[in-house]
């Protein structure tokens, strides 16, 4: 009677959601999930205990390769609402009607540090948005800061190696290695000025800006090209941390930004960002003293006005971190009709590298994972391989095929016919109009006195940790060329003289 009552009680609990029958991966019920099958009560464990073997085998394979960059992240779901019809400049469907709603998923991240690192570290923050549009997924992959350290993808592995732990000590990011690299990369002066200001330590993910960083092309139905740069502006107040504030938070929590995002969404305080774009025609490129597709440069706001494109609201937290955040895969090559990459040399490398790293982490079929799958039907002849889950039927898995006249292509997604300068030849060289230092100096002057003071404190603190003084002199020479006051203050803060620096200044 007792046994029957227990069974009935369990059955009742199951119907109201308090108890669930545990099963193996093949759906067979598990009788005991706490004790292995043994020979007698105290004997050895049996190899035939397939529940034990499956459980241990699954556990052994829980971890996948960590992202080389952007390893520490948080995410949320939401929607984007277009603010107007932009079909005059792009045929992108999700921007074709005012009020049009598009679901999305966002992943915020730190960049150079490992998955378990504190979210208070000085570091750029990733700001990646996956739009689930009616014409496939569109990934807008950027950072909180508007520029980047380097302009050519061939230097990206070296830059990341310089930021990552020493191969000898495996210690944390070492200023000796970082500035050794940048002492030979003057294009990084602008980004370093951003990074060592308080913008390098955002207070959380909700209160930081986002930037597409690169220039992209918008294409309309007439094939006309408009170059654009994206910026996410939070409706929440932008807030950063100074060094002392970051240290205080780090002493109490290493995942403060992740928890802040989740807790605020749980409370119904849904964070919002307005998306703005700057637009420029190729004919206007020569009006500037820098190359507008140079990723180390901003487009001055007083010369290239911003237009509001829409608003993003994050209103739903992930229910499983691994499946919906860690498995979320972004790539700037994930495009839709009406949006194309520019000639930016760093972006061109990222078009390959981002998808390639996702194939390494998540297999070649990573787009079939639920969080990465589009909301529209996928039809192509890509087949098989690890994690192939998309339904594939029929005998014809090739194209063209007379027997499959329903296989059609969409002329709407023909790439724009880019005209190159007549007589152009293949080269490996720097771009025209490098102008490495002007915008870094303008940024310094744009900062408040408090922000300038914090920049000098943060940057000189890092430079004072560099053992090789030649590296220090070279770095200060770069910032001196950006602005003489900027460089002079760094000299004073590092006990360096103009005589030490002048040999690395232009003659």
pLDDT for residue 423: 66
What the block records as the tokens of 128 is 């990646």
Give the pairing of strands 216-219 and 125-133.
Answer: unpaired
Q: Is residue 361 part of a domain?
A: yes
Supply the pTM of this predicted model: 0.90
Residue 424 located in a structural domain: no
Both tokens of 4, joined, read: 């029957």
| Assigned domain for 3 exists | no
Q: Is residue 343 part of a domain?
A: yes
Asked if the structure places residue 356 within a domain, the reply is yes
User: What angle do helix axes 469-482 and 175-182 make, rounded to 10 degrees?
Assistant: 50
- Residue 457 has a pLDDT of 98
Q: Is 386 annotated in some ligand binding site? A: no
Among candidate residues 473, 466, 462, 463, the one with its CA nearest the CA of residue 496: 473
pLDDT tens, residue order, the chain (507 aa): 444 444 444 444 444 456 789 898 889 899 898 999 999 999 999 999 988 998 888 889 888 999 999 999 999 999 999 999 999 999 999 999 999 999 999 999 999 998 989 999 999 999 999 999 999 999 999 999 999 999 999 999 999 999 999 999 998 889 999 999 999 999 999 999 999 999 999 999 999 999 999 999 999 999 999 999 999 999 999 999 999 999 999 999 999 999 999 999 999 999 999 999 999 999 999 999 999 999 999 999 999 999 999 999 999 999 999 999 999 999 999 999 999 999 999 999 999 999 999 999 999 999 999 999 999 998 888 888 888 888 888 888 887 887 877 777 776 667 666 555 556 777 888 889 999 999 999 999 999 999 999 999 999 999 999 999 999 999 999 999 999 999 999 999 999 999 999 999 998
User: What is residue 1's predicted lDDT score, i.e. its pLDDT?
Assistant: 44
- CATH number at 337 reads 2.40.180.10
Are 250 and 360 members of one domain?
yes
35 counts as catalytic: no
Domain that holds residue 487: 438-504
Is position 425 within any domain?
Answer: no
Residue closest to 210 by CA, chosen among 270, 281, 271: 271
Domain end (from 372, 401, 426):
372
Whether residues 127 and 212 fall in one domain: yes
Are 208 and 339 in the same domain?
Answer: yes
Among residues 372, 400, 428, which one ends one of the domains? Answer: 372
Do 456 and 361 fall into the same domain? no
Whether 137 and 237 map to the same domain: the answer is yes
Shared domain check, 474 and 344:
no
Give yes or no: 70 in active site: yes
Same domain, 224 and 121: yes
How many folded domains does the chain comprise?
2
344 and 450 co-located in one domain: no
Q: Looking at 33, 35, 42, 70, which residue is catalytic?
A: 70
Same domain, 487 and 368: no
125 falls within a domain: yes
Q: Are 142 and 212 in contact (CB under 8 A)?
A: yes
The one catalytic residue in 137, 143, 204, 458 is 143
Tokens matching residue 367: 């787009």
Q: How far apart are CA 10 and CA 12, in angstroms?
A: 5
Same domain, 366 and 450: no
């Amino acid at each position: 009677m007792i046994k029957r009552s227990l069974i009935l009680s369990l059955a009742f609990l199951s119907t109201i959601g308090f108890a669930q029958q545990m099963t193996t991966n093949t759906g067979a019920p598990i009788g005991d999930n706490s004790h292995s099958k043994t020979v007698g009560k105290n004997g050895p464990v049996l190899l035939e205990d397939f529940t034990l073997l499956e459980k241990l085998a699954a556990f052994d394979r829980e971890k996948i390769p960590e992202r080389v960059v952007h390893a520490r992240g948080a995410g949320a779901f939401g929607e984007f609402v277009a603010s107007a019809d932009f079909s005059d400049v792009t045929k992108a469907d999700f921007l074709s009607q005012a009020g049009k709603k598009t679901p999305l998923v966002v992943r915020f991240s730190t960049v150079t540090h490992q998955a378990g690192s504190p979210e208070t570290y000085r570091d750029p923050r990733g700001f990646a948005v996956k739009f689930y549009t009616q014409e496939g997924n569109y990934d807008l992959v950027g950072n909180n800061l508007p520029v980047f350290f380097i302009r050519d993808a061939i230097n990206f592995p070296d830059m990341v190696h310089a930021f990552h732990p020493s191969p000898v000590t495996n210690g944390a990011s070492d200023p000796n290695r970082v500035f050794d690299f940048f002492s030979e990369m003057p294009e990084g002066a602008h980004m370093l000025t951003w990074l060592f200001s308080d913008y390098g330590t955002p207070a959380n993910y909700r209160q930081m800006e986002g930037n597409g960083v690169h220039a992209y092309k918008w294409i309309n139905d007439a094939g006309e090209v408009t170059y654009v740069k994206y910026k996410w502006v939070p409706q929440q107040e932008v807030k950063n941390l100074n060094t002392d504030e970051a240290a205080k938070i780090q002493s109490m929590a290493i995942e403060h930004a992740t928890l802040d995002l989740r807790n605020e969404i749980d409370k119904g305080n849904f964070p919002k960002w307005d998306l703005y774009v700057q637009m420029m025609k190729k004919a206007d490129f020569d009006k500037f003293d820098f190359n507008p597709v140079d990723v180390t440069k901003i487009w001055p706001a007083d010369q290239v006005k911003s237009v509001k494109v829409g608003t993003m609201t994050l209103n739903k937290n992930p229910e499983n971190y691994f499946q919906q955040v860690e498995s979320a895969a972004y790539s700037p090559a994930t495009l839709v009709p009406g949006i194309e990459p520019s000639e930016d040399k760093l972006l061109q490398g990222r078009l390959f590298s981002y998808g390639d790293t996702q194939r390494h982490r998540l297999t070649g079929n990573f787009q079939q994972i639920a969080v990465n799958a589009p909301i529209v039907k996928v039809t192509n002849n890509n087949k098989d391989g690890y994690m192939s889950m998309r339904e594939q039927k029929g005998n014809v898995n090739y194209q063209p095929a007379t027997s499959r006249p329903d296989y059609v292509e969409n002329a709407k997604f023909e790439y724009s016919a880019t005209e190159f300068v007549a007589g152009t030849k293949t080269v490996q060289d720097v771009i025209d109009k490098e102008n490495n230092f002007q915008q870094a100096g303008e940024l310094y002057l744009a900062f408040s006195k408090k922000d300038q003071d914090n920049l000098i404190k943060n940057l000189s603190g890092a430079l004072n940790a560099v053992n090789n003084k030649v590296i220090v002199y070279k770095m200060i020479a770069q910032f001196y060329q950006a602005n003489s006051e900027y460089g002079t203050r760094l000299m004073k803060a590092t006990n360096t003289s103009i005589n030490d620096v002048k040999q690395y200044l232009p003659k």
